Amino acid sequence: MTTEIHDRLDPQTDQELIKIFMDLKTKTCGTENIAKSLNIQNVHEQRDAAECLQKILRHISPQASEVFRGQLMDTTKCSKGHIINEETNPFWTLPLSLKDGCYLNYSVESSFERIFQTTTYTGDNIMYCNDCKQKTEATSRCEMVKAPQILILLLKRFDFDYNTGSHFKSDCCVEVPCELQLKSKTYKLYGMVNHMGSLRGGHYTANVLSEDNTWYECNDDHVSKIKHQLFAEDRTFSSRTVYLLTYRATELTVTCETTQNEKDEVQFRSDNECLRSSM
């Protein structure tokens, strides 16, 4: 359903993926050839869906995977505004920790917004600034300098507990919004990957939104229409199995009312400036 990559696929590099997309329009098709091209030897081996996605994105041509690529810039500044550290990192998926939501309903929207919140370093956590030549209070902030066309969020249901020294799977209930807001873009949900089972084994399914705004469940070779309403009146969907979320970016539309308000604001400022100059 990620149609943005279809025209970007390279006829030679992405031959098997192109063939699958073509075949799926008319019939059920096997995955033997695409598995072979990805160097997957044992299709029955338990593997992670997020790792498989990363493997595909590394394998396909750069112009196709580009629609998933974003960039985050982390900047740390001292109290005087000097840059202590600044680094930019590319990403295909954004991981969201579920550790804070084990006993309460977990909000994807709130967790996504926390990525971009400012962190303050004070007390024992002050940092050394080369410009100030001393340790000082500091702030750190993450900014998305390049927003991907397709935003993929990874809910870290599989994690490591440092208290017990063991891995675990979280089955906490997750509140999934049908839309996410980021600067001038609105991201609309169109796909979900679900995991049922335990840490050592389980089963993956996917929910996808068609062009006619109908949700379908993909379960191995069986695809069926989801008859019940996924999203409630508050435009969220609760799930204990959702694992990967795919959102598509749409540009914000400027309404006539908004445009008129902006014109009125400009006129208001202009009138005030004229009034001040005459005084």
* Least trusted range by pLDDT, from 42-56, 162-176, 207-221, 243-257: 243-257
> For the purposes of burial, counting CB atoms within 10 Å of the CB of 25, is it exposed (0-12), middle (13-18) or buried (19 or more)?
exposed
Who contacts 234 (Cβ-Cβ below 8 Å, separation ≥6)? none
* The pLDDT value given to residue 103: 52
Q: Residue 264: in which H helix or E strand, if any? A: helix 256-278
How far, in whole angstroms, is CA 138 from its chain's centroid? 28
* The pLDDT value given to residue 82: 96
CB 29 within 8 A of CB 23: yes
- Inform me whether the pLDDT recorded for 47 exceeds 90: no
| 3 state DSSP class of 258 | helix
DSSP 25-57: TTS----HHHHHHTT---TTS---HHHHHHHHH
What share of residues in the chain are helix, strand, coil (percent, to 5)?
25, 40, 35
Given pLDDT bands bounded at 50, 70 and 90, which one contains residue 41? confident
What are the phi and psi torsion angles at 26 (to 5°)?
Answer: -125, -20
Q: Which tops the pLDDT comparison, 229 or 212?
A: 212
* The pLDDT value given to residue 100: 60
**Total H helices, total E strands in the chain:** 6, 19
* Least trusted range by pLDDT, from 13-22, 100-109, 226-235: 100-109
Given pLDDT bands bounded at 50, 70 and 90, which one contains residue 187? very high
- Inform me whether the pLDDT recorded for 39 exceeds 90: no
* The pLDDT value given to residue 57: 93
pLDDT (average), residues 195-219: 91
* Least trusted range by pLDDT, from 42-51, 107-116, 173-182: 42-51
pLDDT (average), residues 159-182: 87
Q: Which tops the pLDDT comparison, 254 or 52?
A: 52
Closest to 109 (Cα-Cα) out of 247, 227, 260: 247
CB 188 within 8 A of CB 247: yes
Measured CA distances, 221 to 20, 201, 206, 209, 259 (Å): 13, 20, 11, 17, 49
Q: What is the mean pLDDT of the chain?
A: 85
